[in-house]
């Protein structure tokens, strides 16, 4: 809606500029009034469009809103402490639209954990951090034991994913240790 408003505003400013420059040219003979009014209107439109362009670029680049970054880091720490969660991996969060933050996360759970209870807790934690649209993939211990036949055992995968606990989420969607 902001784009529509800016378009209407630009049309209105253009009309006002033409009226003002016409009056100045007819009354005082100031031929320079037309380009000055046009330049002034162009600068105003450009300055008002910059925030719209910035928001559009964040959506197109799938970036996390800066105001959610700290909350998401805290939420990931809380998720690690939920009973039954061994670890998590591949958390990705991005702005889907002006009002929707989407995300995905893979949870590694103990074999005896009730999946729906953990998914509900994780969803609540991430909603509190500002994520409106969430996909959760659950992986149980048995999955990792099965993967051990493919040369990666449960304990190796668990050790690798627990290192993520000290990682911090950055604006560009990457992590640092």
For 48-73, the pLDDT digits (tens) are: 888 888 888 888 888 887 888 899 99
**For residue 86, what are its two tokens?**
């061994």
**pLDDT score recorded for residue 131:** 93
pLDDT tens-place string over residues 76-113: 999 999 998 988 888 999 988 878 899 999 998 988 88
> Is the pLDDT higher at 158 or at 62?
62
Characterize the bridge pairing of strands 168-169 and 175-176. Answer: antiparallel
Q: What's the pLDDT tens digit per position in 136-152?
A: 999 887 666 666 555 55
pLDDT digits (tens, 9 = 90+) for 2-30: 778 877 888 888 888 889 989 989 999 88
- Percent of the chain scoring above 70 in pLDDT: 80
Q: What is the pLDDT of residue 52?
A: 84
pLDDT at 152: 55
pLDDT of residue 72: 92
pLDDT, the chain, mean: 83
pTM above the 0.85 mark?
no
Spans of all domains in the chain: 2-60, 66-176
123 pLDDT higher than 80: yes
For domain 66-176, is the CATH number 3.30.70.1350?
A: yes
Residues 32-39 have a mean pLDDT of: 88
Q: How high is the pLDDT of residue 164?
A: 62
CA separation for the pair 138, 165 (Å, rounded) = 18
- CA 158, 162, 163 angle in degrees (round to 5)? 125
Give the span between the Cα atoms of 85 and 39, in whole angstroms.
60
């Amino acid at each position: 809606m902001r784009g529509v408003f800016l378009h209407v505003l630009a049309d209105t400013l253009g009309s006002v500029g033409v009226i003002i420059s016409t009056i100045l040219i007819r009354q005082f003979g100031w031929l320079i009034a037309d380009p000055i009014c046009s330049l002034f209107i162009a600068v105003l439109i450009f300055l008002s469009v910059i925030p719209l362009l910035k928001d559009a670029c964040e959506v197109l680049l799938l970036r996390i809103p800066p105001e959610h970054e700290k909350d998401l880091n805290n939420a990931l720490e809380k998720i690690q402490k939920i009973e039954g969660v061994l670890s998590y991996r591949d958390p990705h969060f991005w702005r889907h639209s002006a009002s929707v933050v989407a995300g995905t996360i893979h949870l590694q759970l103990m074999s005896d954990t009730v999946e729906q209870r953990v998914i509900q807790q994780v969803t609540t934690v991430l909603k509190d951090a500002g994520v409106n649209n969430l996909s959760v993939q659950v992986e149980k211990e048995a999955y990792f034991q099965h993967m051990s036949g493919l040369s990666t055992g449960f304990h190796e995968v668990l050790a690798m994913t627990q290192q993520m606990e000290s990682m911090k989420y950055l604006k560009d969607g990457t992590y640092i240790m």
